[in-house]
A and B are shown apart, each in its own frame.
Chain A
Amino acid sequence: MNKFARKNFKIFFKSKGEPMLWLTGGGLVISLLMITLLLLLVLKNGMGNYWPGGIVYFKLKNGEAIMGEITKTEYYKLPDDKINTLNDEDKKRVLKNNGKEKRFLVRVGNFELSNKHFEWVSLHEISKQDYPAEAIVLERLEWGRFYGFPKEFIVDGRPVASDLKGILKNYDRYHNDVRKLWRKKVSIEKGEIGKLNHKIEKERLKLKEAKLELEKAYLSKNNEKINEAERRYKKISLEFEEFNKLTKNEYDKLINEINKLKANYEKYGIKFLTADGKEKEVKLYEIVRGYTANTLSFGNKMGIYLNRWIEFLTDEPREANSEGGVFPAIFGTVVMTVLMSLFVVPFGVVAAIYMKEYAKSGKIISILRIAINNLAGVPSIVYGVFGLGFFAYTLGASIDQLFYAAKLPNPTFGTGGILWSSLTLALLTLPVVIVSTEEAINAVPNSLREGSYACGATKWQTVRHIVLPRAMPGIMTGFILAMSRGAGEVAPLMLVGAVKLAPEMPVDSIYPFVHLERSFMHLGFHIYDLGFQSQNSDAAIPMVYTTTLLLIGIVVLLNVVAIYIRNRLRKKFIGSVF
Chain B
Amino acid sequence: MTELLEELKNNEKKTVYDPLLKDENIIIDIKDFNLYYGNKQALFKINMQIPKGKVTALIGPSGCGKSTLLRSINRLNDLLDYVRVEGDILLDGESVYDRSVDLSELRKKMGMVAQKPNPFPMSIYDNVVYPLKINGVKKKSILDEVCERSLSYAGLWDEVKDRLKENAFGLSGGQQQRLCIARAIAPEPEVILMDEPCSALDPIATYKIEELILSLREKFTVVIVTHNMQQAARVSDFTAFMYMGFLVEYGNTINIFKKPKVKDTEDYITGRFG
A contact residues vs B (CB 8 Å cutoff): 360, 445, 447-458, 461, 465-466, 469-470, 572-578
Contacts and interface: CB of A to CB of B under 8 A. Distances in A.
Nearest to B135: A456
Contact of A445 (B118, B169, B170, B200): B118
B118 A469 contact: no
A448 B115 CA distance: 11
Given A455-B134, A575-B169, A466 B76 contact: no
B107 interface: yes
A454 B134 contact: no
Interface in B114-173: 114-116, 118, 120-122, 130-131, 134-135, 167, 169-170, 173
A318 B67 CA distance: 74
Contacts of B130: 452, 455, 457, 465
A576 B121 CA distance: 11
B131 A466 contact: no
B116 A447 contact: yes
A574 B120 contact: no
A500 B183 CA distance: 61
B50 interface: no
B105 A456 contact: yes
A448 B120 contact: yes
B169 A451 contact: no
Nearest to A445: B118
Given A455-B131, A457-B134, A469-B122, 7 more contacts: A447-B118, A454-B110, A456-B108, A456-B135, A458-B134, A469-B121, A573-B121
13 contacts: A450-B118, A451-B118, A451-B183, A454-B74, A456-B105, A457-B131, A458-B134, A461-B134, A465-B134, A469-B121, A572-B167, A574-B121, A576-B170
A576 B170 CA distance: 7
A465 B134 CA distance: 9
B260 interface: no
A547 to B, nearest CB: 42
B81 interface: yes
B91 interface: no
The 3 A-B residue pairs with the shortest CB-CB distance in the complex, in nearest-first order? A575-B169, A454-B112, A573-B121
A230 to B, nearest CB: 61
A575 B105 contact: no
Interface residues of B, number: 34
Contacts of A466: 120-121
Q: Which of A452, A456, A572 gathers most chain B CB within 10 Å?
A: A456
Contacts of A470: 121
A575 B114 contact: no
B111 interface: yes
B121 A454 contact: no
B180 interface: yes
B158 to A, nearest CB: 22
B167 A575 contact: yes
A27 to B, nearest CB: 37
A446 to B, nearest CB: 9
A450 B114 CA distance: 9
A576 B172 CA distance: 9
Nearest to A457: B134
A360 B76 CA distance: 17
A453 B169 contact: no
A451 B120 contact: yes
Contacts of A360: 81
B169 A577 contact: yes
B180 to A, nearest CB: 7
Contacts of A457: 104, 130-131, 134
A366 to B, nearest CB: 16
Contacts of A572: 121, 167
Contacts of B1: none
Residue picked from B106, B169, B180, most chain A C-beta under 10 Å: B169
A452 B121 contact: no
Nearest to A470: B121
B120 A450 contact: no
A438 to B, nearest CB: 19
B170 A575 contact: yes
Contacts of B122: 465, 469
Nearest to A361: B81
B141 to A, nearest CB: 21
A451 B116 CA distance: 10
